Amino acid sequence: MSATPSLFNQHLPPLADRIRPKTMSGFIGQSHLVDDQKILSKLLENDQLFSLIFWGPPGTGKTTLARIIANSLKAEIHELSAVSSGVKDLRQVIEKGKANRDLGRSTILFIDEIHRFSKSQQDALLHAVEEGVVTLIGATTENPSFEGISPLLSRCRVLTLKHLTEEQLNAVLDSAIKNDIILSKGRVKISKDVKSMLVQSAGGDARKMLNTLELAVSLAGGESVLSIEILNEALQSKTQLYDKTGDYHYDAISAFIKSVRGSDPDAAVYWLAVMLEGGEKPEFIARRLIILASEDIGNADPKGLTIATSGFQAVHMIGMPEASIILSQVTTYLAAAPKSNASYMAVNLAMGKISSEGTPGVPLHLRNAPTGLMKSLDYGKDYNYPHNHPNHFVDMDYFPEGKQETFYNPTELGYEEYIRERLKEIWPKRYSK
């Protein structure tokens, strides 16, 4: 009597591959791309083929969509990884593409992790893409605009994929249980609680969910019911979406900065914890806090910059795990501080002015005159030293002629309220409002 096949049968592909749909009708998720009258459905309906880059989190269907497109358009598909493939591999595919073109057949080159493409790899491929020898479909978890693939990017349509919803993950799970060659036999019962835990732990990643299920069933051995305990063993640890080199890195730091800027210390500490638990470098976070202290707090609380800078030094000296305490202190202080972007806006306005009007000459009275020749040319003439005047102030024009303008508009929050009142007193024409 032959042994019962298992999910880890060496002659079978992994579960995620076994249930991978071959047509768009069986594809679950990404409705904004695959539903009727959406871009991919139109592409297949019109029998069109153009280069694409699928950008989205792991397990959202990038490889599956590439294969469905190739299958639907009867194109020959070659799959490479940007990590393990070299220029030689690319040239081999290009030669096959040329042969197929002569036979009137299309060739799709699918490149996984295309964000890791080197310049030499890009150079080897660009000409073939431009001439239509191959149609490129790239897959990346990284924001293409942040990676070094700009020459290819300009020749491709970027399509964004989203994490699968719980409803979509449940649909994938039900499909696996119903259609898989092994799971469909019903030898292993999967309760609603287990299914719910599988979905919750997946983090929107269908492949991860299926891999976890596959491992859990294998760990269950001959048991007929898949228990929560076995599933926990398969999971080992909670899903971590954070990738300190990936797109979630940019999303998390963005959420963190926006929380501090929005004066919410609780949300700010939450995102700080997400980053630290994900292995983010504490120095990176500390540097961003220094920038924020000037950009979003500024003179509303001048101590913010001092505290942020001191925090960076302390983080650098101490390191993790204690650096988390320092970062939390700086984060909560800056989040609770009064906010002003007046300094940030001032320099941007001034730089925009210079950019549009050019760099002016410095008025003679504002120039130093360290030599007799410079003095004879009126360098420093008519300059009034403020400290020789009452209140250490003298009404003088420090702008080039005709260029006087208000760039800095202090708020009425924190220390900037005092600054605003002083400026109104000494420069009433500019700060009378």
In this structure, the number of other CB atoms found within 10 A of the CB of residue 234 comes to 19
Would you state the pLDDT for residue 221? 76
Type of residue at 355: S
H/E stretch holding 249: helix 247-261
User: What phi and psi, each to the nearest 5 degrees, are found at residue 26?
Assistant: -95, 0
Would you state the pLDDT for residue 4? 42
Q: Within 13 Å of residue 343, how many CA atoms lie on the same side as its CB?
A: 17
Would you state the pLDDT for residue 320? 86
Q: In Å, how far from its chain's centre is CA 222?
A: 44
Domains of the chain: 30-160 (3.40.50.300), 166-235 (1.10.8.60), 247-336 (1.20.272.10), 364-431 (1.10.3710)
H/E stretch holding 374: helix 372-376
**Token output for 62:** 């990038």
Residue range 219-276, pLDDT digits in tens: 887 667 888 888 888 887 444 555 555 556 777 888 999 999 999 999 999 999 988 8
Would you state the pLDDT for residue 222? 66
In this prediction, the residues of the chain whose per-residue pLDDT falls under 70 are 1-11, 146-150, 222-223, 237-248, 433
Type of residue at 347: V
- HEC assignment per residue over the chain: CCCCCCCCCCCCCCHHHHCCCCCHHHCCCCHHHHCCCCHHHHHHHCCCCCCEEEECCCCCCHHHHHHHHHHHCCCEEEEEECCCCCHHHHHHHHHHHHHHHHCCCCEEEEEECHHHCCHHHHHHHHHHHHCCCCEEEEEECCCHHHCCCHHHHCCCEEEECCCCCHHHHHHHHHHHHHHCCCHHHCCCEECHHHHHHHHHHHCCCHHHHHHHHHHHHHHHCCCCEECHHHHHHHHCCCCCCCCCCCHHHHHHHHHHHHHHHCCCHHHHHHHHHHHHHCCCCHHHHHHHHHHHHHHHHHHHCCHHHHHHHHHHHHHHHHCCCCHHHHHHHHHHHHHHCCCCCHHHHHHHHHHHHHHHHCCCCCCHHHCCCCCHHHHHCCCCCCCCCHHHCHHHCCCCCCCCCCCCCCCCCCCCCCCHHHHHHHHHHHCHHHHCC
Would you state the pLDDT for residue 1? 36
